[in-house]
Structure 1
Amino acid sequence: MDKNIGEQLNKAYEAYRQACMDRDHAVKELQQKTENYMQQIREQQEKIELQNSIIAKLKSQLAALNANRGNVHPYVLMHEDIETSNLPFSQLSEKLNVIKQREELLK
Structure 2
Amino acid sequence: MKDVGIRIKNLREQKGMTQKNLADRANITVATLSRYENNQRTPMSDIIVKIARALGTSTDYLLTGDGEIEKKYHEYNAAVTMIGFASRAREITPRQAAILQAIAEEMFGSAS
Both structures adopt the same fold (TM-score exceeding 0.5): no
Q: State which structure, 1 or 2, has the greater radius of gyration over its C-alpha atoms.
A: 1
Higher helix share: 1
Give the number of the structure with larger relative contact order, counting CA–CA contacts within 8 Å between residues 6 or more apart.
1
